[in-house]
Amino acid sequence: MKFPGIVFGSLLLYTASAWNTDVHQQIGFMAEEFLTPYTIGVIRNILEPWYQGSIGRAAAWADRYAHTAEGRFSYQWHWIDSEDTPPTSCNVEYKRDCSKGGCVVSAIANQTSILHECIQQVKDGSLTGGSNTTCSQALKWVTHFLGDITQPLHSSGIAAGGNMFNVTFAGHATELHAVWDGFIPHADAGVLRFSNSSLSPFMAALVDRIRANAFAEPTTSWLQCINPATPVTCAMAWAAESNAWTCSYVYKQVYNNTDLLDSGYAQGAFPIIELQISKAALRLATWLNTLALGHYERDGQDFEDPIGNAQQVLVS
């Protein structure tokens, strides 16, 4: 299937280590549609002023930071490398698969804990105007990682999350990870890139579908685990869900050196990325609303950091 007027070779310029920059931003803009006014006010006090209170504008910061000398330590926080064998067997385990330097699951847990404390500072008036860099970074990491964990190849270790799995898309040599990061979402929407400043029409349509509960899975099932007091449990549930796609679709198809845009592979993946992107947006909004409002039970959950430091997740 061809998309007239779309030159997919241009997309090679934008491949990244996660959902492409613009896809991450769109997940943030989608999530903003479900934030409460109170949460929006809290976010405005946590983010630096140049983000204009928008998690959509801030959603891609984590990728840029990970590629700097200062932020190199966070590079591996964007995924969890499952030691499984798709398409015959798919599974992901926290202690087995989260490396000593951390992974997307431990990062969500750690940064959620920090973000909780930052929200308390906003509430007591000691944090305004994005004056605390640690707090701003925690919010930006949570925003980004709740997007990352829904991309199937961020919960898969085979071929380095598909980065070493060479494929062809629209006549261009690339690798499977990049195809899921951006090529497929862009092909689905028929665009070169999504807006980096506002919600794009394609993503706005997904927001409408979320509100109408118009997906193969009921939206209520997406929120079965959405308690910031149990971040490892919830993040592992999301990772396992994403990992399952590597058996049921990502690696199940027969490639045979075919062009993934023409072979039907991309078209079969469209409903998957629409579902996963929508889950990321609704979960992100609900996670932030819950943190901001404090409407969840304190259970004092300790989680084991792969680095070896047990940390207390503080909740209200």
Residue 269 within any structural domain of the chain: yes
Residue 1 within any structural domain of the chain: no
Task: Please answer whether residues 79 and 148 qualify as being in contact, where contact means their C-beta atoms are separated by less than 8 angstroms.
Answer: yes
Which pair of tokens denotes residue 247?
Answer: 């058996």
| Res 12: pLDDT | 35
Give the H/E segment covering residue 123: helix 104-123
| Number of domains observed in the structure of the chain | 1
pLDDT in tens, 112-163: 999 999 999 999 999 999 999 999 999 999 999 999 999 999 999 999 999 9
Q: Return the CATH number at 279.
A: 1.10.575.10
| Res 308: pLDDT | 36
Note the pTM of the prediction, 2 decimals.
Answer: 0.90
Give the mean pLDDT of 284-311.
66
Residue 9: count of CB within 10 angstroms of its CB = 12
Residue 231 within any structural domain of the chain: yes
d(CA 71, CA 271): 34
Which residues constitute the domain of residue 90?
8-312
φ, ψ of residue 173 in degrees (nearest 5): -75, 130
Residue 162 within any structural domain of the chain: yes
Least confident segment among 11-15, 120-124, 189-193, 280-284: 11-15
| Res 137: pLDDT | 98
Residue 22: count of CB within 10 angstroms of its CB = 23
Residue 160 within any structural domain of the chain: yes
| Residue from 152, 301, 177 nearest 234 by CA | 301
Residue 2 within any structural domain of the chain: no
pLDDT greater at residue 100 or residue 13: 100
DSSP-assigned letters across all residues of 206-272: HHHHHHHT-SSS-HHHHTSS--TTSHHHHHHHHHHHHHHHIIIIITTS--TT-BTTTSSHHHHHHHH
CA dihedral 207, 211, 213, 216 (to 10 degrees): 10
Residue 161 within any structural domain of the chain: yes
Give the mean pLDDT of 263-267.
96
| Res 297: pLDDT | 65
- Would you say residue 304 has pLDDT above 50? no
pLDDT greater at residue 3 or residue 49: 49
